[in-house]
Amino acid sequence: MFPKLDPLLHSELRLAVMSILAGVDEADFTYLRKQTGATAGNLSVQIDKLAAANYITVEKGFQGKMPRTTCRITPDGQEAFQQYVDALREYFPQ
């Protein structure tokens, strides 16, 4: 039997965001939007879902006079992401 995949991470855009954040200390909204190719509105919704699950933290502030949103993966998010990757590997034959 195949392991269950976390439905929150099974979304292409949320998985992309988590993949990016797993490899960096933090990433700002503009960087995530450019890397994923997502619209600002869709990315914002998906970031909110990940934050509500405590998979990421979101910090809003300013860089000079420009607003800046920074995202970081949490320990819960790291664990959930690793479990997702491990479960997904079981879907592929060795």
- pLDDT band of residue 82 (cuts 50, 70, 90) is very high
Token duo for residue 65: 């006079």
Domain ranges for the chain:
27-77
Say whether pLDDT at 1 is over 90.
no
Phi first, then psi, for residue 63 (nearest 5°) are -115, 100
Q: Check: CB of residue 48 under 8 Å from CB of residue 66.
A: no
Percent of residues, the chain, with pLDDT higher than 70: 100
Mean pLDDT of 53-62: 97
Give the CATH number of domain 27-77.
1.10.10.10
- pLDDT band of residue 24 (cuts 50, 70, 90) is very high
What is d(CA 92, CA 94) in angstroms, rounded to the nearest whole number? 6
- pLDDT band of residue 93 (cuts 50, 70, 90) is confident
- Structural element, H or E, at residue 59: strand 56-63
- pLDDT band of residue 15 (cuts 50, 70, 90) is very high
The tally of CA atoms less than 13 A away on the side-chain side of residue 73 is: 21
